[in-house]
Amino acid sequence: MMTQEGIDRSVSQELFNESKNYFPGGVNSPVRAFKSVGGTPLFIKRGDGPYIWDEDDNKFIDFCCSWGPLILGHNDPQVFDSIVQTLKNGASFGAPTRKENELAAFILERIPFIDKLRFVSSGTEAVMSAIRLARGYSGKNKIVKFDGCYHGHVDALLVNAGSGLVTFGTSSSAGVPESFAKETLVLPLNDLEALKSCFETYADDIACVIIEPVPANNGLLLQDKSFLTELRTLCTKYNVLLIFDEVISGFRVAFGGAAELYGITPDIVTYGKIIGGGLPVGAYGAKKEIMQFVSPDGPVYQAGTLSGNPVAMAAGLAQLKRCAEDNFYVDLQAKTKAFVEKINSYCAQNNFPLELVSIGSIFWFSFNGKKRITASSQINPDMSNFNKLHNYLLNVGVYFGPSGYEVGFVSEKHREEHLNETFIKISAGLKSIFT
Ligand SMILES: *Cc1c(COP(=O)(O)O)cnc(C)c1O
């Protein structure tokens, strides 16, 4: 069925053996270690357009795209030039630069519900700061999150649901004290009853609700728009701030993210990934009344040595300028939709238990044959078919993020020819798995 050896990974294997001496698990972020799919992680040497090459010089069409930031693919010429031109003047100053103004102005002109932003250096930092701001602004301590949403490795959000409909969290990572975790309430996604009963009991203590409006870190758990709309209404009614964590969906499903796509306005929004053009940038933003609580204007402390780094700002601005061009998102969505529908009709014709779920240019392999999954508890935990497909595709030159819970991304550089080639390889892979 599957070739076990497949592509030569000997250089990656050597580098991985070495890196295990330096880093826990040999990596600087856990999912990179290939633990869920098995085998040796590829060490990547370079990327160009839709392609990456590993240290053994194997070439892949890349659908991981650095986990989302690279909406223009690898090494886009304009992003590259912008980085290099800016870098010529120095890498970092720790003082204000014009580039921060330019990127902020570009974003704020196009996203009307935020008046001010603060740049940070990662999605995690954006979320952590947004939570602190919500608590500082509201004077309340508890926060609500949803089971199946990921918000970075923020202590208060590394929390699992207990049993029952509305539950106080239990920490999902060693090192997070239970006393922190119990300030977080965990609700099921797409469940209005749970949300209402939570607000009826605890609203006076709740600073904010945080949600990925397009949950894309545990499969792709598309929410009913009516759920998100009602969430907004209830937050307003109970005087609880609504945070949209748009680190993955911001500048991805629309320039203004899910908020623009669904026409729903959060009180605070967090960005990351695409906003930095492949360099480390995050941001959080809100109306003036809320942002004036952030230091040095207000009492909520938040700072960063490399925040607003000029080179990263330049990369982000070059990328977002392209995203803001006419039809950018229309084209990206159209080719993603055609690609996904082709795979889905192939699976339907052959009775394969797979349905790709997608929104905008994000897609996910849902290997349990269900049409629509809106809660993490509905995901089939058996990822063996995904793992087989992942392994098959690596051997024929297609790279996906190494976990069945992760989504794939189509970039501007994935043209019809790349998507067709990928379709042919995916269909052959599925055939070898299921027949
Ligand atoms: C990736 C992600 C984060 C964390 O961002 P990092 O830059 O990895 O710290 C937070 N929230 C969401 C929704 C994400 O997708």
Q: How far is CA 130 from CA 135, 161, 257, 380, in A?
A: 9, 22, 17, 32
pLDDT of residue 169: 83
* For ligand 1, mutation pick of 248, 268, 279 (most atoms within 8 Å of CB): 248
pTM for the structure as a whole: 0.97
Say if residue 66 is exposed, middle or buried (CB neighbours under 10 Å; 0-12, 13-18, 19+).
Answer: middle
Could you tell me the distance, in angstroms and rounded to a whole number, from the CA of residue 42 to the centre of ligand 1? 22
| d(CA 270, ligand 1 centre) in Å | 9
- Residue 243 contacts residue 130 (beta carbons within 8 Å): yes
Catalytic (active site) residue 245: yes
Residue nearest to atom 6 of ligand 1 (CA): 123
Is the minimum distance from the CB of 122 to ligand 1 under 6 angstroms? yes
pLDDT of the chain, 435 residues: tens digit per residue: 444 468 999 999 999 999 999 999 999 999 999 999 999 999 999 999 999 999 999 999 999 999 999 999 999 999 999 999 999 999 999 999 999 999 999 999 999 999 999 999 999 999 999 999 999 999 999 999 999 999 999 999 999 877 666 678 888 899 999 898 999 999 999 999 999 999 999 999 999 999 999 999 999 999 999 999 999 999 999 999 999 999 999 999 999 999 999 999 999 999 999 999 999 999 999 999 999 999 999 999 999 999 999 999 999 999 999 999 999 999 999 999 999 999 999 999 999 999 999 999 999 999 987 767 888 888 988 999 999 999 999 999 999 999 999 999 999 999 999 999 999 999 999 999 999
DSSP assignment of 179-216:
HHHTTEEEEETT-HHHHHHHHHHHGGGEEEEEE-SS--
What is the C-alpha to C-alpha distance for residues 297 and 278, in angstroms, rounded to an integer? 30
pLDDT of residue 164: 66
How big is the chain, counted in residues?
A: 435
Radius of gyration of the chain from its Cα atoms, rounded to whole angstroms: 22
Q: Determine whether the shortest distance from the Cβ of 246 to ligand 1 is under 6 A.
A: no
Active-site residue flag, 273:
yes
Give the pLDDT score at 166: 65
Residues with Cβ within 8 Å of 411's Cβ and at least 6 positions away in sequence, in order, are 50, 65, 70, 71, 72, 73, 361
pLDDT of residue 3: 45
Q: What domains, with CATH codes, occur in the chain?
A: 2-75+327-434 (3.90.1150.10), 77-323 (3.40.640.10)
Q: Which of 150, 271, 392, 405 is catalytic?
A: 150
Q: Which atom of ligand 1 is nearest to the CA of 124?
A: 9
Query: Quick check: is 150 catalytic?
Result: yes
| Amino acid 1: pLDDT | 40
pLDDT value, residue 191 = 95
